[in-house]
Structure 1
Amino acid sequence: MKYFAKTLLVFTILSSSVMVYGQGGETYVTTGGEWIFSFGGSGDDGAVRFSPVVNFQINVNKDVSDKFGFYSGLAIRNVGFIWDDPDSAQIRKKFRTYNLGIPVGLKFGDMNGMMLFGGYELEIPFNYKEKTFVNEKKEDKFNVYFSGRVPPVYHALFAGVQFYSGISLKFKYYLTNFHDQSYTEVVNGVSVMPYKNLDSNVFYLSLNFNLFRNTDFHYKKIDRDLKQVSMR
């Protein structure tokens, strides 16, 4: 609890500082989705987990100038990885969480065109799912809300490039281990720690796309901008 309180304090100070700095400039809201290709890091055999749904994000953008801006918002994100048991080639597990994300990002470049961005995101996992496969057949699955199997919060860093079309490529790395390695459960009367030796810091590459800018369909604004440029 003390760790969680410190995290929220640091995040609040960071967000407040950004908002105070950005009093001027243009403010607008972008809404879109994300297709995620994720890996589990240590212990992962290289299998890619593809999660196109449900990933939804809405950001409030502040463009301080035509070359610099920042943003923050909310996101619902489906994150996880595929793991093969090193002690048994027949066993594969798939782990995932649904997270509520709160990013704080900076943007550099053409605010109406191609730009670079990067920042920090705090994510709160609110649903955990685990599937077990034996010889490619699903043997078990369960999902739990606010499970103790994972940490109460994840910390992540991200960076990427956005193109004029509103489509962007993003790389993200989670500083927090996916599982709580100290988690203990009782199996057949014996206390076990199923994730004790499972070191997995998820990282992913994603394709992001903005569908709306304020209430306008994003690509309508692109067409408008192109027409204005051609008339100059």
Structure 2
Amino acid sequence: MKSKTTLKFLTCALLSTGMCMNANAQSVENRQVNKAYWTSGIDGYVLSTAIDSRNIKPANSASVSTPRFTAFFHIGANVNYDITKHVGIFTGLSIKNIGFIEKYNNPDSTAKRRVYTFGIPLGFKFGNLKYGSFLIAGGGVDFPFNYKEKGFIDRGNKTKFNEWFSSRTPAVMPYFFIGAHLRPIVAVKLQYYPANFMNPNYSETVGNTTVKPYANYDVQLLMLTLGFDINYRPRS
């Protein structure tokens, strides 16, 4: 049932994208410089992993976690300003679903940790802005507002919980990105979060003992996104 729902969602997204591409292609040549305009700035599909730099075997080495794919729930809107026909800037607001998957061998189990975040990007555009094909680069900050953790042991014995404004993760998550906007509306982006995704100082009481479940964690997110940047420009 879940796979059918996902297939329907992807099909609707692709059909909607096709209709928007046709409408957007007709108006892209009308972009004017020195005028602000809106774009959707949606990170539609996100493939992420985590670079795990904990003291693991072999000692002091880094590993990459199991890839995590998500298409829900990512929305956003950007304000753009083209300084010239080849250089522009943008900022905006976004909501993203980001996280990582951790596998254990003894016993065979999986933990999934994710947060929903409010984000503010700040980026630069270089290329043929009027045509709609250009490079993007910049950074931003995300502010987590909901944390969720799921656990599975031998594909059973599921546990899960979520917390609003949890202190299990940092309150601020800075990131950097590079990518490209492809005519007319597709945007491909690589994002890197250099700070630890988990808060190693977080503590909780289990029984009569205070523990720090993330004390040894040192994980940085790496994300590849396929987005849709639909333009809403003023008339010429």
Taking structure 1 as the reference length, what is the TM-score of the superposition?
0.78
- The C-alpha deviation readout for 1:99-133, integer Å capped at 9, x for no partner, is 00000101000113210011111110000000011
Aligned identity (percent) is 34
Alpha-carbon displacement from aligned partner over 1:5-29 (angstroms, at most 9, x marks no partner) = xxxxxxxxxxxxxxxxxxx712100
1:124 is aligned to: 143
* Cα distance change on mapping 1:152 and 1:46 into 2, 3 Å: closer
Q: Tell me which of the two structures has the higher relative contact order, counting C-alpha pairs closer than 8 angstroms and 6 or more residues apart.
A: 2
Match of 2:91 in 1: 72
Aligned to 2:114: 96
Residue 143 (str. 1) matches residue 162 (str. 2)? yes
**1:33 aligned residue:** 42
Greater displacement, 35-44 / 108-117? 35-44
Distance 2:46 2:155 in 1: 23
C-alpha separation in 1, matches of 2:78 and 2:140: 13
Confirm whether residue 211 of structure 1 aligns to residue 221 of structure 2.
no
- 1:84 and 1:204 mapped to 2: Cα distance? 19
Contact 1:45 1:84 in 2 (8 A): no
Q: Which residue of structure 2 aligns with residue 19 of structure 1?
A: none
Kept after mapping to 1: 8 A contact 2:49/2:100: yes
**Take 2:179 and 2:89, find their aligned partners in 1: how far apart are those partners?**
14
Q: AA paired with 1:111?
A: L
What is the root-mean-square deviation of aligned Cα atoms in Å? Answer: 1.8
CA distance in 2, matches of 1:48, 1:193: 26
Q: Distance in 1 between matches of 2:222 and 2:125?
A: 21
Q: CA deviation at 1:41?
A: 1.1
Separation of aligned partners in 1, 2:153 and 2:163 = 22
Asked if structure 2 preserves the Cα contact closer than 8 Å seen for 1:32 and 1:212, the reply is: no
Structure 2 counterpart of 1:177, from 174, 191, 196: 196
1:49 aligns with 2:68: yes
Distance (whole Å) between structure 1 residues aligned to residue 234 and residue 159 of structure 2 = 44
For the residues of structure 2 that align with 1:39 and 1:145, how far apart are their CA atoms?
23
1: CA distance, partners of 2:191 / 2:107: 29
How many Å apart are 1:211 and its aligned residue?
3.4
C-alpha contact 2:51 2:221 (8 A) present in aligned 1? yes
- 1:94/1:130 contact within 8 Å kept: yes
Q: Secondary structure at the match of 2:220?
A: coil
1:32-72 CA distance string (max 9 Å, x none): 42210000111665421111111001000000010000000
Distance 1:36 1:138, change over 3 A: farther
1:121-149: per-residue Cα shift (whole Å, max 9, x none)? 11100000000110122521000000010
Q: List alignment gaps of at least 5 residues for structure 1.
A: 1-23, 217-232
Q: TM-score, normalised on structure 2?
A: 0.77
Matched, 1:109 2:124: no
Counting matched residue pairs gives 192
Conserved 8 A contact 1:168-1:209: yes
Check if 1:158 corresponds to 2:193: no
